[in-house]
Structure 1
Amino acid sequence: MRNIKLVIEYDGTNYAGWQLQPNGVTVQQVMEEALTTLLHEPVRLHGSGRTDAGVHARGMVACFTTYRTIPLRAFSDGLNSLLPPDIAVRESAEVTPDFHPRYAATGKLYRYTIHAGRRRSPLSRLYAWHLRGELDLDAMRRAALFMVGEHDFAALRGAGCAAKTTVRRVDGIAIEKQGELVTIDVRGSGFLRHMVRNMVGTLVEVGQGRRVADSIPALLAAGERGGAGATAPACGLCLVEVYY
């Protein structure tokens, strides 16, 4: 039995997220259908996590097992010939039987992109949150420092989150600007449902002067979702890399 690891890139605009669900087409569903066509056998993919509807990925990792002896290259080039233009396999590798993309992961990197311009941009509308007006990036960076480390992030957890504990470790947050695009890179051991998008929504309030940077510790200590900022739109979020 072979255990095949895939690194997958996708534009999540037209999908109801990564994970299989009954109320919409998902990336996992499309991937499994293409693999079934390629291998002539049912295939179940195990992903490194979930992404919500509209969220993108550059480095989603998934694994499946098969007895087929086709060349490894077929799991990238061959599979890509069967996939739609908004999904592609970037890498394929054969890994040990005990490797699981979720449980073996040591961390993840997400990037959130904001288009901070006076006028909307049709070319970035599917991949960035358009906000008019300047953001105080220094204030946002000060606020972000309070989110780094191991904390109870209940205040930044989205509704419907089934995690047994809301304690997570954030290893770093980097906020940069190039032209009208602001990127917020968040690295951590793992994230709660909507956690990164809620972090961004809260940091944006700081950048707009509607919340002070020093208020973050009290927000986290209170643990109340209503005290944090609004959930940033899904279109600006991208899973960049999963670490092992």
Structure 2
Amino acid sequence: MNTKRYFIALSYNGTSFHGWQIQPNGITVQACLNKALSTYFRQEVATLGCGRTDAGVHATQFYAHADLHEISDQQIAAAVPGINALLPYTIAVNTIFTVAPNAHARFDATARAYQYHLHFHKDPFKIDRSWLYKGQLDVDRMNEAAAVLLDYIDFSCFSKSNTQTFTNNCKISHAKFECIGDGLVFTIKADRFLRNMVRAIVGTLIMVGKGEIDTNDVVKIIESKNRSKAGQSVPACGLYLVAVEYPYVKDDSITV
């Protein structure tokens, strides 16, 4: 039976999920999406995502692909409201569109961008959406250290151990903190990311902001390639996947 490949653009609040990827003992975004798509299109649908966000991590832009059969262009165009009605309020499908039969949501992505949010004063409306940091930080020193990241490609020191990646090399093209309201937003863009990489980087840069280490120490940490030398991972609640780039998908929702 003939099938077509589709990209599904979605966003989600990850607070109540055990990450994106299907787990044997936990509710995940992928499981909810697969169920909604299968129910709506009346066929078994298995999605493959552009990456793997951990438990509690959010995404304002995420892509998955799936192969569907016997679906007209008119049905696809009208499908988004019906699929969203089957999904929990914390997941929203934004668009569905056809792509080439060999298009791949994970391997075709040329860049990804994450943001990490933290705030300094208790705010009930930021619970599970930003990290409450109780203390003062030197943002200029943090950005000076963040700039060092652009000079390296091996980030073993910021990766979880025992991962199944073939390389720990990544090319970071942007890494910077900005003061926004009562807090900070750290934006980082690279061609790929390692597991836990962004949270470990932020944890290390927080140490710089507190005056515990300096830029030269960050250089030594990176060159050590040793995870135990870097800072602790910051909480998942502040992390957002905000952009995924493909050579054949135009999306100007965020530029870094």
Measured on the aligned residues, the alpha-carbon RMSD in Å equals 1.1
1:103 to 104, 107, 118: 107
Indicate the residue corresponding to 2:118 in structure 1. 114
2:226 equivalent in structure 1: 224
The corresponding residue for 2:130 is 128
SS of the equivalent of 1:204 reads helix
How far the C-alpha of 1:140 sits from its partner, in A, is: 0.3
How far apart, in 2, do the equivalents of 1:91 and 1:211 lie? 45
SS of the aligned residue for 1:65 comes to strand
Higher mean alpha-carbon deviation, 49-58 vs 150-159, is at: 150-159
Q: CA-to-partner distance for each residue in 1:121-161, whole Å, 9 max, x for gaps?
A: 11112111111122100000000011114421111012342
Report matched runs for 1:134-213 at 5 Å. 134-213=136-215
* Misfit runs of 4+, over 4 Å: none
Give the superposition deviation at 1:51: 0.2
Task: Tell me how far apart the structure 2 counterparts of residues 29 and 56 of structure 1 sit (CA, whole Å).
Answer: 16
* Counterpart for residue 24 of structure 1: 26
CA contact (8 A) 1:8 1:90 kept: yes
Deviation track 1:49-102 (CA, whole Å, cap 9, x = no partner) reads 100000000111001011132422233222111111000011211111111111
Give the whole-Å Cα distance in 1 for the aligned partners of 2:96 and 2:44: 19
- SS at structure 2 position matched to 1:100: coil
SS at match of 2:140: helix
152-161 or 184-193: which moved more?
152-161
Following the alignment from structure 2 to structure 1, what is the Cα–Cα distance between the partners of residues 201 and 80? 35
Cα separation, 2, equivalents of 1:140 and 1:102:
31
Given that residues 147 and 176 in structure 2 are in contact (C-alpha distance below 8 angstroms), is that contact kept between their aligned partners in structure 1? no
TM-superposed deviation, 1:233: 0.5
Structure 2 equivalent of residue 90 of structure 1: 94
Deviations 1:175-214 (A, max 9, x none): 1012212000000001111000000000111111111122
Q: Secondary structure at the match of 1:148?
A: helix
1:98 is aligned with what amino acid?
A: N
Looking at structure 2, the residues matched to 74 and 159 of structure 1 have their Cα atoms a distance apart, in angstroms, of 44
Distance (Å, rounded) in 2 between the aligned partners of 1:65 and 1:218: 46
Q: Which moved more, 1:144-153 or 1:9-18?
A: 144-153
> Aligned pair count?
242
**Structure 2 unaligned residues grouped into runs of 5+:** 247-256
1:51 alignment partner in structure 2: 53
* TM-score of the superposed pair, with normalisation by structure 1: 0.96
| Match of residue 85 from structure 2 | 81
Q: Is the 8 A contact 1:72 1:94 kept in 2?
A: no
